[in-house]
Structure 1
Amino acid sequence: MVQLLVGLFLYGIAIATMMQATIGIEPWDVLAQGITRHTGIPFGVVTNLIGGVVLLLWIPLRQRPGIGTVLNVLLIGPSAQLGLWLIPQPESLAVRIPLFAAGLVLIAAASGLYIGAQHGPGPRDGLMTGLHARTGLPIWLARTGIEAAVLVIGWLLGGNVGWGTLAVALCIGPLVHLAIPLFALTPAPPAPALQLIESDAATRGRAPAPEPWVFGPRR
């Protein structure tokens, strides 16, 4: 849970970092902007609707939401708002480029943290891991394909695309592919007492094994 919460917090900070760099936004935000321009629906509502549609795509992929999926929706927004308050918006391009790069790397690391905590991925990351599990596609290829498709659709709808947006679409997949194994947690082995209980439960109902040796005269 600690790793999950830290990952979600850092993800929001990473979003704010990239936004303050003013070089480009993520493909999913480009898509939301394009839909808003055509429908007049507020950006935040469109973002929630997109998340709901993505969750529906989990059904054919046999993905199940977890507590991490719910916390993803609840915590990243406030964390990003805090980051926008704390991180100033630089004017110099020489500062904005490293700031954007730091945000991009931080997003990948934060994704590895909260996905590796194994409490359920976020809606968009669940789509990525679901495609990986069902099709065998590498994580980086599944993520890059999703981000590129979303970017193209958002651009055709009139969303704001910068060169930083293209950098996210091309680089986030390989970076997340590297980050997930670094932070993936494995279930702890059961305690010895629990192993004895499980062993006893597994052997119940079986006929007792014959004793290997009987002391004293046979009757």
Structure 2
Amino acid sequence: MTRRVLQLLIGLPLYGFGCGLMIDAGLGVDPWTVFAEGLALRTGIGVGWITNIVGLLVLLLWIPLRQRPGIGTLLNVLLVGTAIQATVTVIPPVHGLVLQVLLLLAGVVVVAVASGLYIGARFGPGPRDGLMTGMHARLGWPIWVARLVVEVTVLITGWLLGGTVGIGTVVFALGIGPLVHVALPLFDTARTRGPGRIPAARAETA
């Protein structure tokens, strides 16, 4: 239990830190952060605080889907956006393509490691992943269809609002799955529970 709690409390802020690095790179971010950036531009509220607010609103959508949040889900809403806000406040945007690419790649890798940590702790999915699994359970949609519909919708909406879409968005989309696939077995706490352990968790992002 101590290991699981530590993984959760390290993994969630680390996830936000990785997202913050991607924002500072300025080459494009993941769909949900594009959405948060767009809302931040329109409201004047920091992108990290918007991330927390969006996470809370998404969590409310769990109610009609009859999903039950875990402690990890609730902490996700509180910590990820706060870490994003702290990162973009402390670390200024970088300039120059080489530095931007390096910061982007560092951000994607950090997000992957952080995903392995908090998912492997098994305290519940993030609000966005729970939305997609809830749609699968209640509507019968395949998870990949639910993810595609939701993420394309928030990506387009965020882009129209002024969020950053670019090569970083593509790099994240193509790279995060394989990287989490590598990171998750390293931190999956179920792998150390003996013959009766449950299978390794499906790779998810916040």
Greater displacement, 42-51 / 154-163: 42-51
Once residues 83 and 51 of structure 2 are traced to their aligned partners in structure 1, the CA distance between those partners, rounded to angstroms, is 16
From 12, 16, 21, the equivalent of 1:12 is 16
Greater displacement, 40-49 / 87-96: 40-49
Shift in Å, 1:151: 0.8
Unaligned runs of 5+ in 2: 195-206
Once residues 141 and 117 of structure 1 are traced to their aligned partners in structure 2, the CA distance between those partners, rounded to angstroms, is 26
Once residues 74 and 34 of structure 1 are traced to their aligned partners in structure 2, the CA distance between those partners, rounded to angstroms, is 20
- Note the 1:89-128 alignment, pairs <5 A: 89-128=93-132
- The structure number with the bigger radius of gyration is 1
Shift in Å, 1:108: 1.9
Normalised by the length of structure 2, the TM-score is: 0.70
Shift in Å, 1:144: 5.5
Change (3 A) 1:147 1:120: same
Equivalent residue for 1:184? 188
Change (3 A) 1:53 1:62: same
Shift in Å, 1:84: 3.8
Q: CA RMSD in A?
A: 3.3
How many aligned residue pairs are there?
A: 187
Shift in Å, 1:35: 4.4
Percent of aligned positions with the same letter in both sequences?
A: 53
Equivalent residue for 1:195? none
- Note the 1:1-219 alignment, pairs <5 A: 1-35=5-39, 40=43, 42=45, 46-84=50-88, 87=91, 89-130=93-134, 137=142, 143=147, 146-186=150-190, 188=193
Equivalent residue letter for 2:77: V
Change (3 A) 1:37 1:110: closer
Once residues 149 and 176 of structure 1 are traced to their aligned partners in structure 2, the CA distance between those partners, rounded to angstroms, is 23
The DSSP-based 3-state class of the residue aligned with 1:172 is helix
Equivalent residue letter for 2:71: I
Moved over 6 A (4+): none
2:51–2:81 contact (8 Å) kept in structure 1: no
Shift in Å, 1:3: 0.9
Change (3 A) 1:168 1:73: same
Per-residue CA shift, 1:129-181, capped at 9, x if unaligned? 5456775846x776565433321232234433232123334443444455444
Change (3 A) 1:166 1:108: same
1:10–1:107 contact (8 Å) kept in structure 2: yes
Shift in Å, 1:41: 7.0
Once residues 145 and 180 of structure 2 are traced to their aligned partners in structure 1, the CA distance between those partners, rounded to angstroms, is 11
1:14–1:103 contact (8 Å) kept in structure 2: yes
1:151–1:169 contact (8 Å) kept in structure 2: no
Normalised by the length of structure 1, the TM-score is: 0.66
